[in-house]
Amino acid sequence: MPGSDALRQHVNAGSNPNSGGTPSGTPNGSPNSSGSNGGNGNGDQGRTSGGNDPQDSGPNADDLNKILLVYSMVGGPLQHWGIQGTIRVKELVQFSGVRDPQTREWVLRSKRHLMRPEIVDRVAGNAHFVCQHNEYPRVRTIIDAMSLLVFVHTTPGTRMTSRNSTMLGDHVESTQQMCRTLGRHLAFANTLPPDRLPLRVPLLFYSERMHTHPHAIVGSFDYVKKVNEAIVVVIQYGVDEEGAQIVDPPVIVLPASPSNSAGTGNSPNSDPNGALLQGVLAAMRTMTQVHVQ
């Protein structure tokens, strides 16, 4: 699984994300119950009402409010942009109405065919609301490029690490796995007292491949580009207010001083300050290099 020092420090430094009690900033709005042609989840799923309901009573849809997805950015300059928020699980999944034959837990299924694009839409929508001077398609392009490495906490009640996380991909199998993961979190949430609900499930958007322009200001998505592992730009900067393509500043190279102007310091006519001057010029050339990535 891809990773970096920034990711490891982020996931290993914090404590259990649910120790702080009920979070603030929960989005308003009711879930969209239409368009539920999603993939089915299988495996360990969440039980209803702590598993004490009769077998034939059916799942309680309100139980999905016991878990809450909490997303943030890690790696790269965008982790300092404050792109973070919450998503109600009830807006993404629903009970399928059947139990898993092995665990006897209620099976969850995604409301959409794929879950990752739905999460990207919600995160991009929130980022666009906060940074309204950006065009939404540009914001979503940047968020979507980061979401290829979304980490989902897979082990309830434990600290998030790279070992108990998984990437959420843009395919049916990954959506089904996400439903099973949320089912495990729901089963764990049903064992918690009310004062420890909702259970916060972290989502990390890995943004190390995102680069910002040297003159960028926080929240200006036009000044963000993506560079892949081969140092090839796969998402260009946007355009400025006049419609011109934004590019990195050119590399500044100071002219080299003539080799014989300052002398070597060994001849009778050498300048005693020549060696020092050459050293200063060399340092200035090094310090003023701008690496175009």
What is the per-residue pLDDT for 10? 47
What is the per-residue pLDDT for 37? 40
What is the per-residue pLDDT for 28? 38
The bridge status of strand 150-153 relative to strand 165-167 is antiparallel
What is the per-residue pLDDT for 259? 56
**Tokens 């918690």 belong to residue:** 192
What is the per-residue pLDDT for 108? 95
- Contact (Cβ atoms closer than 8 angstroms) between residue 37 and residue 113: yes
The string over 83-111, giving b where at least 16 C-beta atoms fall within 10 Å of a residue's C-beta and e elsewhere, is: bbbbbbbbbbbbbbeebbeeeebbbbbbb
What is the per-residue pLDDT for 30? 37
Which residues touch 278 (CB under 8 Å, ≥6 apart)? 257, 262
pLDDT digits over 54-70, tens only?
555 778 899 999 999 99
- Contact (Cβ atoms closer than 8 angstroms) between residue 206 and residue 7: yes
What is the per-residue pLDDT for 150? 61
Q: Locate the domains of the chain by residue range.
A: 5-235, 249-293
Tokens of 152: 């989902």
**Tokens 């993939």 belong to residue:** 39
**Model pTM score:** 0.67
Angle between helices 116-130 and 136-146 (to 10 degrees): 130
Instruction: Collect the ranges in the chain with pLDDT lower than 70.
Output: 1-56, 147-150, 256-293
For residue 142, which of 83, 201, 71 has the smallest C-alpha distance? 83
